[in-house]
Amino acid sequence: MNRRGFVRGSLAAAIGASSLSTSGAFGAILSPSKGVDADINAVTGAGKSVTLKKTAMQELGESLRGNLLLPGHPAYDDARRVLNASISKFPALIVQPRGVADVRRAVDFARESSLLVAVKCGGHSHSGKSTCDGGLMIDLSLMRGVRVDERERIAYVSGGSLLGDMDNETMQFGLVTSAGTVSHTGVAGLTLGGGFGRVARRFGLSLDNLRAVDVVTADGRLVHASADENAELLWGVRGGGGNFGIVTNLEFELHPMQREVVGGTITFPFSEARQLLDFYAEYEASAPDELFLCMGLQNSPQGKAVQFNACYSGPARDAERVFAKVRSAGTPLRDNLRTIDYVALQRSGDVDDPRAVGSYTKSGFSVGLKPKFIDAILDGFGEQPGGSSVFFLYHCGGAINRVAADATAFPHREITLTPLLAVSWPITSDPTAQVAWLRKYWASVEPHMQGFYTNDIIDETQKQVDENYLGNYPRLVALKNQYDPANLFRLNANVIPSV
Ligand SMILES: Cc1cc2nc3c(=O)[nH]c(=O)nc-3n(C[C@H](O)[C@H](O)[C@H](O)COP(=O)(O)OP(=O)(O)OC[C@H]3O[C@@H](n4cnc5c(N)ncnc54)[C@H](O)[C@@H]3O)c2cc1C
- Span 116-134, pLDDT tens digits: 999 999 999 999 999 999 9
- Given a cut of 60, is residue 81 above it in pLDDT? yes
Q: Which residues pair with 339 in a beta bridge?
A: 262
Average pLDDT over residues 420-441: 93
Q: How confident is the model at residue 366 (pLDDT cuts 50, 70, 90)?
A: very high
Residue-level pLDDT at 21: 30
Q: Provide the whole-model pTM.
A: 0.94
pLDDT in tens, 195-210: 999 999 999 999 999 9
Contacts 24+ apart (CB under 8 A), 161-170: 161/121, 161/186, 161/187, 161/188, 162/19, 162/121, 162/122, 162/186, 162/187, 163/122, 163/187, 163/190, 163/346, 164/343, 164/346, 164/347, 164/350, 166/252, 167/342, 167/343, 167/346, 168/343, 170/146, 170/254
pLDDT in tens, 448-475: 999 999 999 999 999 999 999 999 999 9
* Residue, of 56 and 23, whose pLDDT is higher: 56
* Residue, of 271 and 30, whose pLDDT is higher: 271
Q: How confident is the model at residue 382 (pLDDT cuts 50, 70, 90)?
A: confident
Cβ–Cβ under 8 Å, residues 282 and 248: no
Residue-level pLDDT at 84: 93
Q: How far is CA 282 from the centre of its chain?
A: 28
Give the number of the atom of ligand 1 that is nearest the alpha carbon of residue 195: 11
CB atoms within 10 A of CB 30: 20
Average pLDDT over residues 413-426: 96
CB atoms within 10 A of CB 481: 14
- Given a cut of 50, is residue 80 above it in pLDDT? yes
CB atoms within 10 A of CB 423: 26
Please give all residues whose beta carbon lies within 6 A of any atom in ligand 1, as ranges.
Answer: 8, 11-12, 82-83, 119-126, 129-130, 140, 159, 180-182, 185-186, 188-190, 192-197, 241-242, 246-247, 455-456, 491-492
Which residue's C-alpha comes closest to atom 53 of ligand 1? 124
Q: For residue 318, what are the contacts with CB-CB under 8 A and spacing of at least 6?
A: 312
Q: Name the residue of 86, 125, 141, 456 to mutate for ligand 1: max ligand atoms within 8 A of Cβ.
A: 125
Distance of CA 453 to CAs 3, 354, 473, Å? 25, 25, 15
Question: What percent of the chain has a predicted confidence (pLDDT) above 90?
Answer: 87
Average pLDDT over residues 78-91: 95
Residue-level pLDDT at 409: 98
Q: Name the residue of 1, 2, 7, 8 to mutate for ligand 1: max ligand atoms within 8 A of Cβ.
A: 8
DSSP line for 263-276: EEEEEEEGGGHHHH
Least reliable range by pLDDT among 11-15, 254-258, 459-463, 477-481? 11-15
Average pLDDT over residues 218-242: 98
Amino acid at 345: L
Amino acid at 468: N
- Given a cut of 90, is residue 219 above it in pLDDT? yes
Q: Can you tell me the distance from the alpha carbon of 61 to that of 101, in angstroms, rounded to the nearest whole number?
A: 13
Residue-level pLDDT at 384: 81
- Given a cut of 80, is residue 34 above it in pLDDT? no
Q: Are strands 146-149 and 93-96 parallel, antiparallel or unpaired?
A: unpaired
- Given a cut of 90, is residue 32 above it in pLDDT? no
Hey, CA dihedral for 431, 434, 438, 440, is it positive or negative? positive
Give the number of the atom of ligand 1 that is nearest the alpha carbon of residue 492: 47
Closest of 32, 25, 126, 74 to residue 357, by C-alpha: 126
Residue-level pLDDT at 11: 43
Q: Are strands 117-120 and 136-139 parallel, antiparallel or unpaired?
A: parallel
Q: For residue 317, what are the contacts with CB-CB under 8 A and spacing of at least 6?
A: none
Considering the chain, what is the average pLDDT of its residues?
A: 92
Give the DSSP H/E element, type plus range, for residue 164: helix 163-171
pLDDT in tens, 6-15: 455 444 443 3
CB atoms within 10 A of CB 225: 26
- Given a cut of 50, is residue 5 above it in pLDDT? no
Q: How confident is the model at residue 1 (pLDDT cuts 50, 70, 90)?
A: very low
Question: What percent of the chain has a predicted confidence (pLDDT) above 70?
Answer: 92
Q: Ligand 1 centre and the CA of 182: distance in Å?
A: 11
What is the largest distance, in Å, between two alpha-carbon atoms of the chain?
69
- Given a cut of 50, is residue 18 above it in pLDDT? no
DSSP line for 277-308: HHHHHHHHHHS-TTEEEEEEEEEETTEEEEEE
Average pLDDT over residues 426-451: 95
Per-residue DSSP letter, 167: H
Q: Name the residue of 139, 452, 455 to mutate for ligand 1: max ligand atoms within 8 A of Cβ.
A: 455
DSSP line for 99-110: SHHHHHHHHHHH
Q: Can you tell me the distance from the alpha carbon of 341 to that of 268, in angstroms, rounded to the nearest whole number?
A: 25
Cβ–Cβ under 8 Å, residues 45 and 39: no
Half-sphere exposure at residue 181, Cβ-oriented, CA atoms within 13 angstroms: 29
Residue-level pLDDT at 140: 98
Closest of 193, 225, 216 to residue 110, by C-alpha: 216
Phi-psi region of 149 (alpha: psi -120 to 50; beta: other; left: phi over 0): beta
Average pLDDT over residues 93-100: 98
Q: What three-state secondary structure class fits 12?
A: helix
Q: Are strands 255-256 and 260-269 parallel, antiparallel or unpaired?
A: unpaired
Q: Can you tell me the distance from the alpha carbon of 298 to that of 9, in angstroms, rounded to the nearest whole number?
A: 13
Q: Which residues pair with 118 in a beta bridge?
A: 137
Q: How far is CA 11 from the centre of its chain?
A: 12
Q: Give, to the nearest 10 degrees, the angle between helix 54-63 and helix 100-112.
A: 170
Residue-level pLDDT at 8: 56
Residue-level pLDDT at 2: 33
Residue-level pLDDT at 20: 30
* Residue, of 210 and 349, whose pLDDT is higher: 210
DSSP alpha helices (H): ranges in 328-460? 342-347, 371-381, 432-445
